Amino acid sequence: MLRYTNHTNTCKRTKNNSKKLKAMLVNCDGLHWSKRKADFHARVNDLAPDLIFGCESKLSPDMPTYSIFPDNYNIIRKDRDSNGGGVFIATKENIISVENPEYDSDCEITWCTIEFARSGKLRLGSFYRTPNGGTEPLEKLQDSVNKVLSKSGTKHENILLCGDFNLPDIDWDALCTKPDSKRKALHNTALELLGELPLIQLVTVVTRQASQNCLDLIFTNNQNIVSNIQTHSGISDHDIVTCDINVSPKWKRKPIRKIYQYNKADVSSLKCSLQKETETFFANQPEQNSVDSNWTIFKDIVNSHMERFIPHKMSKSKQSYPWINQFITQQMRKRDRLYRKYKSADSSSRTKLWKAYKKQRNHVTSLLRDSQNSYMNNVVGPSLDTNPKQFWTYVKSLKGNPWAFPACS
């Protein structure tokens, strides 16, 4: 069943709409490090994916989810330890998703399900195979996929399986092992095992530039739901792979809240108006009314005065990082432009462009780390005395866990 369908690796951004989800596949190489976590958050903020498939998170089970990941995502994790491995799936908090531990097998894979708005389901899987893992993880992967298929029965349910398979010697254009492979037996067996799955592999471009190999793969049983596959500068030595998922899921509608800005209230006018309303209230002999009636009158007076004299704003659902300023955003865009130039360049100029890209990538990483530390040391820290509300707002956003704080300098 293993087939390949060519998807243009275009750099043109596709506008998100209600009938598409944006998915991101990322090799993290350790989210427990503050530097890597800052890079991850910046990339999520920049690419704004609805779904994130992650591998090599290198998280141990005692590391709380809310100390690592943005709080506007629901996270499903399968950890190994802080030395290696680990997979996760992150779905935007307004997408209805359900974890499926019953599909797991004895390999690094985790599953969840999202439901379509009209009918059907999309099974999401995140998988990781170590470079020296042999074929056993792929055999266990077969068992896991078969569990998904047997659970769905006669119903047609779409599957999207993403991850780092670490199979560098497979030519995904020709669907064969490369002639110069030193591990032909392993890769031939891997192709046979993957070929027995009712899935199509869609990524053929290089996803690890240092070795010029395609390691990060996307499998699906319905190629029509996947489009616009792209690669981007990653947070490790792997590129980030993104694609559009052409489905309309069920969304959880998060109500927009009205937030009153009491520090900007017109206090003098408020007091004056309330004094007049109080005199009117008692002049109308409230003792002759029921308790409920008086409470309704009182509540209406308070609500109307809040609207008149206290400014308000509506809540926002977008996650923001105050240390990612306009200059850093410009530098991130410059890094991405250099990456795209490198990807499209001919062999004579690729080495020079790769060095320029790496220099800019390291510069952005340094900027992010320094800006986050500066925000902690110069903005949040001193505000404990001068503006305690600012400090405790930041602490609350991190849910009070010390894992969430970056190392201060």
Q: Is the pLDDT of residue 58 over 90?
A: yes
Return mean pLDDT, the chain: 84
How many CB atoms neighbour CB 116 within 10 A? 14
39 assigned to some structural domain: yes
Residues 130 and 94 placed together within one structural domain of the fold: yes
Model pLDDT for residues 275-296, shown as the tens digit of each residue: 999 999 899 888 999 999 999 9
Q: Is the pLDDT of residue 380 over 80?
A: no
Confidence of residue 382 (pLDDT cuts 50, 70, 90): low
251 assigned to some structural domain: no
Residues 102 and 173 placed together within one structural domain of the fold: yes
Mean pLDDT of 71-86: 91
Residues 145 and 228 placed together within one structural domain of the fold: yes
382 assigned to some structural domain: yes
Residues 64 and 164 placed together within one structural domain of the fold: yes
Out of 6-15, 57-66, 135-144, least confident range? 6-15
Question: Looking at residue 406, what is its pLDDT?
Answer: 43
Q: Distance of alpha carbon 265 from its chain centroid, rounded?
A: 38
3-state helix/strand/coil string of the chain? CCCECCCCCCCCCCCCCCCCEEEEEEECCCCCCHHHHHHHHHHHHHHCCCEEEEECCCCCCCCCHHHCCCCCEEEEEECCECCECCEEEEEECCECEEECHHHCCCCEEEEEEEEECCCCEEEEEEEECCCCCCCHHHHHHHHHHHHHHHHHCCCCCEEEEEEECCCCCEECCCCEECCCCCCHHHHHHHHHHHHCCCCEECCCCCCECCCCECCEEEEECCHHHEEEEEEECCCCCCCEEEEEECCCECECCCCCCEEECHHHCCHHHHHHHHHHHHHHHHHCCHHHCCHHHHHHHHHHHHHHHHHHHCCEEECCCCCCCCCCCHHHHHHHHHHHHHHHHHHHCCHHHHHHHHHHHHHHHHHHHHHHHHHHHHHHHHHHCCHHHHCHHHHHHHHHHCCCCHHHCCCCC
Question: Looking at residue 317, what is its pLDDT?
Answer: 55
Stated pTM of the model: 0.69
404 Cβ neighbours under 8 A, 6+ residues apart: 66, 67, 398
Contact call for residues 84 and 32 (beta carbons, < 8 A): no
Say what percent of the chain tops pLDDT 90. 48
Pick the most confident of 316-320, 324-328, 380-384. 324-328
- Count of domains forming the chain: 3
Question: Looking at residue 362, what is its pLDDT?
Answer: 87
User: Domain ends where: 188, 217, 245?
Assistant: 245
Question: Looking at residue 155, what is its pLDDT?
Answer: 62
Residues 158 and 276 placed together within one structural domain of the fold: no
8 assigned to some structural domain: no
Out of 30-44, 118-132, 185-199, 384-398, least confident range? 384-398
2 assigned to some structural domain: no
Question: Looking at residue 202, what is its pLDDT?
Answer: 96
253 assigned to some structural domain: no
User: Domain ends where: 222, 245, 268?
Assistant: 245
Q: Is the pLDDT of residue 264 over 80?
A: yes
Residues 300 and 196 placed together within one structural domain of the fold: no
Q: Is the pLDDT of residue 17 over 50?
A: no
**Among 213, 125, 128, 210, residue whose Cα is nearest residue 169:** 213
Residues 136 and 282 placed together within one structural domain of the fold: no
Residues 291 and 174 placed together within one structural domain of the fold: no
Q: Is the pLDDT of residue 52 over 80?
A: yes
1 assigned to some structural domain: no
Dist. CA 103–CA 125, nearest whole Å: 9
Dist. CA 285–CA 320, nearest whole Å: 52
Residues 198 and 296 placed together within one structural domain of the fold: no
Confidence of residue 9 (pLDDT cuts 50, 70, 90): very low
User: Domain ends where: 245, 269, 291?
Assistant: 245
275 assigned to some structural domain: yes
Residues 334 and 300 placed together within one structural domain of the fold: no
Residues 203 and 136 placed together within one structural domain of the fold: yes
Question: Looking at residue 403, what is its pLDDT?
Answer: 36
Residues 53 and 154 placed together within one structural domain of the fold: yes
Structural domain of 206 = 21-245
